[in-house]
Amino acid sequence: MNIKTAKSIPLADALTRLGFSPVRRRGNDLWYASPFRSEKEASFKVSVTRNQWYDFGAGKGGDLIDLVKELYRLTTVSEALAQLDELEGIHFDKPPPRRQPDNDNRTEEDAPAFTIVENQSLISRSLIAYLQERGIDVELARKHLREVHYQRAEKVYFAIGLPNQSGGIEVRNRYFKGTIGRKDLSVIPGPHRRVFVFEGMFDYLTALTMLGGELDGTAIVLNSVATKEKAAQLIHELHPTVVELYRDNDTAGQELLNFMRHELPSITVVDWADLYAGHSDLNAWHVARSAPTPTKRALDIGR
């Protein structure tokens, strides 16, 4: 793709294809939640007539090339053009399926209209880069994740996938977070005396990365706090002596802790949220840290 072609692409179309939908429209201006951060009030404006964007929260703006540079932390125009060429499954010739941004503060959405066309080992450079950005050991991730190609409206997309207990698969990429098939727990068997409970796949992958790939127990990834009742039932069946909970540092996470302690009165439920206080979850804390070694010692407590 060259500069002229890139600049001719309507920003609104590109944002839709990248998974971002406008919150409101005022005249010829479209307002979005910023694609660069989590926020409740839309501060990212696109001028349809000028085909320019401006992020009031960051104080910067530009055209599509500038947007791609900012999204992918690139420094040159040629890198941005190459990224536009390599964007997984995103083309600018037909209207795309509408997708939601990958935002950990929004509600996850099932994607029953998506069809898996390929389920293979992880090889995509873009997905590998995404894992690395999240601080995940790629070789460890390959043992637990799949690279999923899924189709909707004649378009094929790519994501990392974690199988769940109902035969569905939890999928994630930079632009989409959801489920193909039925939403359910993901369970990774291990010794039953100890059970690790994680809200999301990246918290689980973070723990694996920090501990060198091994958890001394069965791991349960909720994939949604809505599965907590099923998780508690499974824990009862496993009869562990301790449950190690890695929840989000928010209201829903606190409610999850309260629920687990109420439903599992005879089992010690260890809440690790204080370990990553000040961060939204275990993965966010891990990414923010520059030295991971003390983390392993912290997670080894009680072994």
181-235 pLDDT per residue, tens:
888 999 999 888 999 999 999 999 999 999 988 899 999 999 988 899 999 999 9
Read off the pLDDT of each residue in 62-73 and give the average, rounded to a whole number: 88
Q: Please calculate the CA angle 175-80-111 and round it to the nearest 5 degrees.
A: 15
Indicate the domain borders of the chain: 3-86, 109-180, 186-299
Kind and range of the H or E run holding 125? helix 125-133
Compute the distance between CA of residue 153 and CA of residue 193 in angstroms, rounded to an integer: 46
Instruction: Reply yes or no on whether the pLDDT at 123 is more than 70.
Output: yes
Compute the distance between CA of residue 173 and CA of residue 87 in angstroms, rounded to an integer: 11
Compute the distance between CA of residue 123 and CA of residue 190 in angstroms, rounded to an integer: 27
For the four alpha carbons of 37, 38, 42 and 43, in that order, the dihedral sign comes to: negative
Compute the distance between CA of residue 258 and CA of residue 245 in angstroms, rounded to an integer: 11
Q: Which pLDDT tens digit goes with each residue over 257-282?
A: 999 999 999 999 999 999 999 999 99
Closest CA to 77 of 127, 18, 6, 17: 6
Homologous superfamily in CATH for domain 3-86? Zinc finger, CHC2-typedomain (3.90.580.10)
pLDDT at position 289 is 87
Read off the pLDDT of each residue in 34-46 and give the average, rounded to a whole number: 84
Q: Are 171 and 178 in contact (CB under 8 A)?
A: yes
Residue 290: pLDDT band with limits 50, 70, 90 = low
Kind and range of the H or E run holding 259? helix 251-263
Compute the distance between CA of residue 32 and CA of residue 20 in angstroms, rounded to an integer: 8
Instruction: Reply yes or no on whether the pLDDT at 248 is more than 70.
Output: yes
Closest CA to 37 of 93, 135, 117, 104: 104
pLDDT at position 161 is 95
Per CATH, domain 186-299 is 3.40.50.12780 = no
Residue 86: pLDDT band with limits 50, 70, 90 = low
Torsion of CA 196, 201, 207, 213, to 10 degrees: 100
Compute the distance between CA of residue 17 and CA of residue 100 in angstroms, rounded to an integer: 10
Q: Are 109 and 180 in contact (CB under 8 A)?
A: no
